[in-house]
Structure 1
């Protein structure tokens, strides 16, 4: 088979979705499945929907178009603030979008009127992560402006955590977001179809002992795809961590000096150690590199270690028996490595177990407790 490739077990993604949807549903929280890490792959999106996700969320318009071209008609929300240059296309393929700029919302409204549609607006609030978001004191004014615009409908508010600033979604933050929803509705009237509390980092809070308040939606990608808590990296019990496997091919294997051999009249340069001094000198070179993956996001087998990578070579040092040229090596990936691998044009995606079972849309018993391990 061709390499590099990603082997995807669709049944494990479906299972992971079911496993998290049930307990969250019991607490009044819907799951919007985020497909941006897999570039809107239609089969993976369908597995999430079969597992009980209420809809899909994407950050890139091209990925949404891929979903639509594959025949998916479920609600899709654009979770990155739309670009002004793309508002017509956003309105055409997305039911709603997350927004922070009135100029963009005004343009979306005009595009919706041209298309005889009503586009949903969810306002993102800055809650400490310092990426996108309206400052809380400005939320009421913007909500009122959205309500006054024909062509758009205010559908709710949302927040983001643990992406740029690493701010965790605490119970206090969630109560503050619920209070903001109440305050805006007190000023503008009932509107909040959605109060989206955040992403996969919210799971420990959402599945804990705290009251959920007004939070009724989470946008989950990493937890479903990889079965881990994005803040701690801990595994989530009952969920698979190996739905995705990267397969790469050995193109060279040899015993080499531990230190580079440098010949230079410049003694400073001669003392430079361009490759780390490692515990081994048996090197494996694979036909992938920075253009294909995030090297530090790959799991290493016992006895192997990452030496380094260039644009198209990955170098591993090993204490194990050297594999022959042409041997395939398999790696699990973290979220960063998965995103880059799925977007790499030379990496093939192979699907396994792509048939939903008879109870594909059934959700897990809500009484089952999920825990991080």
Structure 2
């Protein structure tokens, strides 16, 4: 196993982030599901959540939920990706509760839960405009709710939820949360009881909680980036969860070349290895370094944040990261290690690579 590139996982920060998110949510009357898909459900994240008293872990991947079941069997497991028919048996086996967006899914989950002699909980998803999963017409969602409540022998209708920001980039506004609650209350009128959960999205809903204008009936959030990376929330939504620390996950890479080179490519610019046509700024001759990690390892070079002042990420190919080190505060040399903070998307890539070394800091 090679030493670098290397992922460093700070367990103290992860555990502290779980506590901070729990505190924020508890003070707002919200039940947090700790989502582990942003770090590919690595055991360290599952342990951190379990050690700090998480009551529910969520993922879109069955393999990650199965791992959570093995490591923390007493914590409820939430399946985030709407189930396909071929997944029904596994979903019922490893998940306690699922997000569902069709009557057909309710039917095959009910059948499978019966085969396994289980009661499976479901949250019906309403599409409020982000155009990913969810019922588009409220009356169709209500009919599905009636089916789950009155006709399905092995399902428990736990609530209504929505997803915002993952595909259509729709903001979580006060109006959108009001709309979700209206849908949920329509369902409650139809089934004659109060729902356990009204699930108002994920980390992108945290600004509403911090602003104290989240609808009081929204009582569940599915939070991943907010406790794992904690960078997107700050950089995009300009807010932070009190007590949550960045850099629980750090990428380390080894420098393999240092040279003074032109800052503008020489020749006819066509496209890069990924079919893109990049743009460059001519800054003259600059001291540049290559770090031995690339897009295959972390996805998006523009999202990396060098943790040393004066180092700038210029871009990357599949396996090399190009750095401007002209203004670096130390004299870098070949073999030195540079560290990068990562956003959510970077963390997804890095934690999914089996050939990246891992360093666990307790």
* Fold agreement, TM-score > 0.5: yes
Q: Distance in 2 between matches of 1:296 and 1:167?
A: 23
Which residue in 1 is equivalent to 2:44? 43
Cα 1:53–1:232, aligned 2, differ >3 Å: closer, same or farther?
Answer: same
Cα 1:260–1:26, aligned 2, differ >3 Å: closer, same or farther?
Answer: closer
Post-superposition offset of 1:260: 3.2
Which residue in 2 is equivalent to 1:142? 144
What does 1:152-191 correspond to in 2, within 5 Å?
Answer: 152-190=155-193
Q: Secondary structure at the residue paired with 1:161?
A: coil
Post-superposition offset of 1:233: 5.0
Which residue in 2 is equivalent to 1:333? 342
Q: Secondary structure at the residue paired with 1:76?
A: strand
Which residue in 2 is equivalent to 1:296? 302
Post-superposition offset of 1:348: 2.3
Post-superposition offset of 1:112: 0.9
Deviations 1:175-194 (A, max 9, x none): 22122211111111225111
Q: Secondary structure at the residue paired with 1:260?
A: coil
Which is further off, 41-50 or 4-13? Answer: 41-50
Out of 306, 311, 323, which is 1:316 matched to? Answer: 323
Q: Secondary structure at the residue paired with 2:146?
A: helix
Post-superposition offset of 1:136: 4.3
Instruction: Tell me if structure 1 keeps the 8 A contact 2:229–2:347.
Output: no
Post-superposition offset of 1:165: 1.6
Cα 1:197–1:259, aligned 2, differ >3 Å: closer, same or farther?
Answer: closer
Which residue in 2 is equivalent to 1:210? 213
Deviations 1:331-357 (A, max 9, x none): 00111111111112211222212xxxx
Deviations 1:239-268 (A, max 9, x none): 211211111111111122333344xxxx89
What's the TM-score once normalised by structure 2's chain length? 0.89
Post-superposition offset of 1:104: 2.0
Post-superposition offset of 1:306: 2.1
Q: Distance in 1 between matches of 2:115 and 2:242?
A: 49
Deviations 1:261-281 (A, max 9, x none): 44xxxx897xxx977234352
Q: Distance in 1 between matches of 2:345 and 2:278?
A: 25
Which residue in 1 is equivalent to 2:281? 277
Which residue in 1 is equivalent to 2:197? 194
Which residue in 2 is equivalent to 1:120? 121
Out of 330, 337, 352, which is 2:361 matched to? Answer: 352
Instruction: Tell me if structure 1 keeps the 8 A contact 2:291–2:322.
Output: yes
Q: Distance in 1 between matches of 2:119 and 2:241?
A: 39
Cα 1:151–1:253, aligned 2, differ >3 Å: closer, same or farther?
Answer: same
Instruction: Tell me if structure 2 keeps the 8 A contact 1:126–1:134.
Output: yes
Q: Distance in 2 between matches of 1:259 and 1:208?
A: 45
Deviations 1:289-308 (A, max 9, x none): 11100211100343222222
Structure 1 segments (4+ residues) deviating >6 Å: none
Gaps of 5+ in 2: 271-276
Which residue in 2 is equivalent to 1:7? 8
Q: Distance in 1 between matches of 2:17 and 2:269?
A: 53
What does 1:72-151 correspond to in 2, within 5 Å?
Answer: 72-137=73-138, 138-147=140-149, 148-151=151-154
Instruction: Tell me if structure 1 keeps the 8 A contact 2:164–2:201.
Output: yes
Which is further off, 122-131 or 300-309? Answer: 300-309
Q: Distance in 1 between matches of 2:269 and 2:321?
A: 27
Gaps of 5+ in 1: 354-373
Q: Distance in 2 between matches of 1:350 and 1:232?
A: 30
Q: What CA RMSD, in Å, does the superposition of the two structures yield over aligned residues?
A: 2.2
